[in-house]
Structure 1
Amino acid sequence: MDMAATIETLKAQCPNFEYYYAIVDCAQDDSLYEKIQLSECQYSALLEAEASEELLRVSPHIIELRENAFCSWLLARGWGRSWAIYIASQRPIGYLIRHFKKLSKVTGPQRQSWFFRYYDPRVCRDLLPICDASQLNRIIGNAGIFWMEGLDPTTTIKYSWKSGQLECSTYLVNGDNQAIKQIIHHPDKGPAADDSDSYMSVSQSQYDTLKEGAHRNFILSLIREVSTRHPDKAKVYSQEQLIRYIEFALTQMNELGGHGVHSATCFIEACFSFGWDFLSNPDYFWVREKFLDNKSIGDTNNRLDTLFNYLKKQ
């Protein structure tokens, strides 16, 4: 990222802590697991029990940060890509390992058991402001301050939990550390204990909020991808226009039978290449005939992938 934060940014915005950590989602990039192993930093996987090598490669890891090449690489490459959240703490890594391992899963409103992606800044930003006191003590507790990229990666967000209040502070990455602060009061539902062995429960309203947030973040990720590949075409639209067009395009893709992240990327690429109305435009009937309606290629997802590869060669 052009405006990535650094370890100096973290320490300046969260000063006077003894330790600084990253909780990294190794599933976000294939290189992360090996980079962590070679980092010369103290680290641990945040899993409940022994796991296979295959699972470790895509699991969250906590790393004690040092001012070294790995830390610089992590922030430079991962900032704005939802690779990690960061913790400023007075606690040694053993304490944080025990604390965060208890967050591996949550219980849904119908008693479902879900893996809890609290270490994804997109999830964390949506969830923390709508948690009650008991939930915040389970998630943050005495671990320290949570710090991460904002929705706009030119900003950072810091969450501090103390005395029943969540303080949310927003900074510019390259600013003078003057923050916009918001105090969020939370209802206290049940005992606010952070040492329980039971899974944290997520309410229906919280689930709905997270689902809406996940969809919004998916749309924004598609906008970033297509804007990177087609900057001149993308800049003629406002973000609000792109959101509306992509929502419409995804509905069309679903009607064709396509699904999944990669198929969405493929279909949006076709829209940028041929126009948002290309499915009904007679000038592009050949696209449907050669690719989208061509059952010899396979299912709709395979056809979209074949079309995407064709476009990349043009």
Structure 2
Amino acid sequence: MLAEPTLPTPRQAADKLLPLLARCSGRPYAVVDASHGEQAYELITRWGEHAHCLYSGQEATTLARYAPYLLELRENSAALMELLEQAWQLNWAIFVDGAADWQKVRLQLKKSLFVLDENKDRHYFRYYDARILRLFLPTASKEQAAQFFGEDIYAFYAKTVNPQQWVEYRRSSPKALNWLTGEISLTATAWAP
């Protein structure tokens, strides 16, 4: 009889995600959804001036506790480890490999916050939820993908339904319009000493 694979603890998963973020060709960011509750919002506020609401104006003020935020991931800190652990267990965040200028990355991410339906009615598009991103990107046309990535986003990383894996959606080049999909497998054996 085969033994069930041992799932990684949140801390083990966070330890494995650090090298993934370190290999970014640009700069690593997280897009965190504050609507997941007080704990998510408190974690975002620890980033201080390195947390940027994707909403603007009155919407940013009114919806601050429910908005998506771009976090500049800078150093290995307790807050970063907590974010990685929570992102592993929940669907609070996706990760982005983007341009060095956070303002350019924020602007590109803001462009996809809303979509229009066939009646031209505007709806929120919660792509920053890993479950939605995993549905959207594999089915997007090359034109949609090019518009979604823009020039300033090189890759997105999201948790898969398999609790041992993350998926990477990377463009073949920051300037190219084609993009690639690949999985980064975090199997139980990866945590063996």
Q: Say which of 16, 31, 34 aligns to 2:42.
A: 34
Q: Say which of 152, 155, 158 aligns to 2:168.
A: 158
Following superposition of structure 1 onto structure 2, how do residues 231-270 of structure 1 map, counting pairs within 5 Å?
A: none
- C-alpha distance 91-54 of structure 1, shift in aligned 2 (>3 A): same
SS in 2 for 1:50: helix
| Corresponding letter in the other structure for 1:55 | L
Q: CA contact under 8 A between 1:14 and 1:88: conserved in structure 2?
A: no
Rg larger in structure:
1
Within the alignment, does 1:58 sit opposite 2:66 as a pair? Answer: yes
Q: CA contact under 8 A between 1:48 and 1:101: conserved in structure 2?
A: no
SS in 2 for 1:109: coil
2: CA distance between counterparts of 1:98 and 1:124?
18
Within the alignment, does 1:70 sit opposite 2:83 as a pair? Answer: no
Q: CA contact under 8 A between 1:87 and 1:145: conserved in structure 2?
A: yes
Unaligned runs of 5+ in 1: 177-314
Could you tell me the TM-score, scaled by structure 1's length? 0.51
Q: CA contact under 8 A between 1:154 and 1:173: conserved in structure 2?
A: yes
Q: Say which of 120, 124, 132 aligns to 1:123.
A: 132
SS in 1 for 2:57: coil
2: CA distance between counterparts of 1:6 and 1:41?
23
Give the length in aligned residue pairs. Answer: 176
| Corresponding letter in the other structure for 1:128 | L
Higher RCO (CA < 8 A, seq sep 6+): 2
Instruction: Quote how far apart the aligned CAs of 1:98 are.
Output: 1.1
- C-alpha distance 34-23 of structure 1, shift in aligned 2 (>3 A): same
| Corresponding letter in the other structure for 2:46 | L
| Corresponding letter in the other structure for 2:182 | S
- C-alpha distance 52-46 of structure 1, shift in aligned 2 (>3 A): closer
| Corresponding letter in the other structure for 2:50 | Q
**Higher helix fraction (1 or 2):** 1
2: CA distance between counterparts of 1:81 and 1:101?
23
Unaligned runs of 5+ in 2: 1-6
Match of 1:21 in 2: 29
Q: CA contact under 8 A between 1:7 and 1:71: conserved in structure 2?
A: no
Cα displacement string for residues 235-287 of structure 1 (whole angstroms, at most 9, x for unaligned residues)? xxxxxxxxxxxxxxxxxxxxxxxxxxxxxxxxxxxxxxxxxxxxxxxxxxxxx
1: CA distance between counterparts of 2:146 and 2:122?
20
1: CA distance between counterparts of 2:15 and 2:140?
28
**RMSD, matched Cα:** 2.3
Q: CA contact under 8 A between 1:128 and 1:136: conserved in structure 2?
A: yes
- C-alpha distance 107-71 of structure 1, shift in aligned 2 (>3 A): same
2: CA distance between counterparts of 1:71 and 1:16?
16
Q: CA contact under 8 A between 1:24 and 1:85: conserved in structure 2?
A: yes
Q: Say which of 153, 163, 170 aligns to 2:183.
A: 170
Match of 1:107 in 2: 116
1: CA distance between counterparts of 2:39 and 2:17?
24
SS in 2 for 1:119: coil
Instruction: Quote how far apart the aligned CAs of 1:164 are.
Output: 3.8
Q: Say which of 52, 55, 71 aligns to 1:47.
A: 55
2: CA distance between counterparts of 1:47 and 1:100?
10
Q: % of aligned pairs identical?
A: 23
